[in-house]
A = this chain, B = another copy of it.
Amino acid sequence: MGRYARKVSTGPAFKRLPRAVREQQMLDSAVQVFSRRGYHGASMDEIAEVAGISKPMVYAYLGHKEDLFVACLHREGTRMMEAIAGAAAPDLPADERLWRGLRAFFGFVGAHRDGWAVLYRQARGEQRFARELSVMRARLVEVVSGMLDHALRAEGREAAETELEVVAYALVGATESLADWLADRPEADPEKTATRMMNAAWLGAGQLLSGATWHPPTV
């Protein structure tokens, strides 16, 4: 006989909640703990404890540690893509589309630093999750490179796919890097960071050095 009976004699110390709710709580805790400790550093015990639940429940609902991490990846990734997609407006000029995408992205990272850390700091380097991660990154790259392609065709020109891909990679990488910069500086302003990023990305170092600046459109 476990100690469960003893606790119950004073009434249940826990609340019974429907599965869907508990699952979200667990994912919240998991994202938090994974982001603090890293994939390996995070223990299932701690995740369960933070969620206010016992370990077997985590296994019952979300499976093994890898499954749990993948679930976190999916949830946070989906949220991020939605945030960005929501800012898109296909018929705007390229610079304004890029600007809106960047602003949405930095806004998301600023608001979900934990999720961001899980997605891009922890998942890297674990080749176990390479597939999941590359799928997500590919979607991002596709969005950006599609945008560039669209803008090019509007001018009657086009470029090799590899070229577009490389530029898109560079853009995504620069943005990720600044996102890290932002995530480490709680006092920094996402909007301002997005503007700076836009300047660097749109104008390039050459024009920046010549004194050119890009300003967000006055809404």
Are B205's CB and A205's CB within 8 A? no
Asked if A206 is at the interface of the complex by the 8 Å CB criterion, the answer is yes
How many protomers of this protein does the assembly include? Answer: 2
Asked if A95 is at the interface of the complex by the 8 Å CB criterion, the answer is yes
Asked if A47 is at the interface of the complex by the 8 Å CB criterion, the answer is no
The secondary-structure label for the interface of chain A is: helix
Chain A interface size, as a band, is 35 or more
Are B196's CB and A202's CB within 8 A? no
Are A171's CB and B205's CB within 8 A? yes
Q: Can you report 30 residue pairs joining A to B where beta carbons are below 8 Å apart?
A: A40-B40, A41-B126, A95-B206, A117-B125, A121-B124, A124-B124, A152-B209, A155-B209, A157-B211, A166-B193, A167-B199, A169-B178, A169-B181, A170-B177, A170-B196, A170-B201, A171-B174, A171-B200, A173-B174, A173-B177, A173-B180, A200-B204, A201-B204, A202-B204, A202-B205, A202-B206, A204-B204, A204-B205, A204-B207, A207-B207
